[in-house]
Amino acid sequence: MRRIVCLVGVVGMLFAAPVLAQTPGISGELEQSSTTSPKEKSVFTDAALAEIEGSVNTVQALLTAAEKEKNVEEIECLTRKLTPLRALLEVSRQAGNTMKLSLAANDTVHADQEFRKVAVALTKAREFLAEAQACTGDAGVERGDASSTVTDNGENSIDSDADIPEIQVPLDGPDSTPN
């Protein structure tokens, strides 16, 4: 039942492609849908499926390692990323097959729609992979190890938490009115 609910959610995200087409990460692939040849669409889809499957395998390996270490926090985080990744892979496979059938039947409108589903799924899979890697610190930064330096026109510099002034921000209740 949980798998069906997740799959329905992912399919719903994929049908939101026109809204997501405005996202910079996928706009290029979606804009190409009307200008690419059937062979290019097929090659892109095969590469996208391979990448999504690779993402699933990577997150599965991270989850297996977290289970061996009995790291409950990582297990929960990775599981939350792996479930939708698997659903994206399944939806992408179906969309890829449907796209190829549509191309064979010269139904370019339907083929373009399925191509866009794969493009959106690839973008979402990349996001889930990055988030999964962040669960374990594999994204290049360990949790709690972030640091930053803030400068103000070169005059002032804050290099550590000790240099940051404490600021009190009063919180007004719901009965307050602005002055």
Q: What's the rounded Cα separation, in Å, for the pair 163 and 165?
A: 6
- The tally of domains found in the chain comes to 1
Q: What's the rounded Cα separation, in Å, for the pair 47 and 40?
A: 10
Tell me the whole-structure pTM to 2 decimals: 0.61
Residues 139, 141, 143, 147: is their CA dihedral positive or negative? negative
Tell whether 53 is covered by a domain. Answer: yes
Structural domain boundaries enclosing 77:
2-13+45-135
pLDDT digits (tens, 9 = 90+) for 108-130: 999 999 999 999 999 999 999 99
Q: What's the rounded Cα separation, in Å, for the pair 124 and 97?
A: 19
pLDDT digits (tens, 9 = 90+) for 7-37: 444 444 444 443 334 334 444 555 555 678 9
Q: What's the rounded Cα separation, in Å, for the pair 29 and 116?
A: 8
* Predicted pLDDT of residue 33: 59
Tell whether 20 is covered by a domain. Answer: no
